């Protein structure tokens, strides 16, 4: 695995997904499901509102968990 290539291709997604955790914290109180595997995560208010706004604008759930994103990246760039 090459960890350094990933940050370069994350640019077109909302970047503050680092605020999302898979457990509840003082900051992360809002439940959000991964758009792909539907696993439950917790987001802080700003991140949550950004995602809700995107969904309200008719976009699919733009949030993808780390696992799914890694898989997606491999599909998109690894074509094998």
Between CA 32 and CA 5 the distance in angstroms is: 27
CB of 69 to Zn ion, least distance (A): 8
Q: Which of 13, 37, 46, 75 binds Zn ion (CB under 5 A)?
A: 37
d(Cα 19, Cα 21) in Å, to the nearest integer? 7
Decide: is 66 part of the binding site for Zn ion (CB under 5 A). Answer: no
Does 65 engage in binding with Zn ion (CB under 5 A)? yes
Q: Which of 27, 54, 68, 71 contacts Zn ion by CB under 5 A?
A: 68
Contact residue for Zn ion among 6, 36, 54, 73 (CB under 5 A): 36
Distance CA 63, CA 35 (A): 6
- What contacts 8, CB < 8 A, 6 or more positions away? none
Q: Can you give the binding site for Zn ion, defined by CB under 5 A?
A: 34, 36-37, 65, 68
């Amino acid at each position: 695995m090459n960890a350094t290539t990933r940050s370069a291709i994350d640019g077109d997604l909302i970047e503050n997904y680092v605020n999302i955790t898979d457990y509840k914290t003082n900051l992360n109180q809002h439940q959000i499901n991964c758009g792909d595997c539907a696993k439950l995560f917790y987001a802080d208010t700003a991140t949550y509102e950004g995602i809700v706004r995107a969904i309200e604008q008719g976009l699919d759930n733009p949030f993808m968990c780390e696992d799914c994103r890694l898989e997606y990246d491999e599909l998109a760039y690894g074509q094998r």
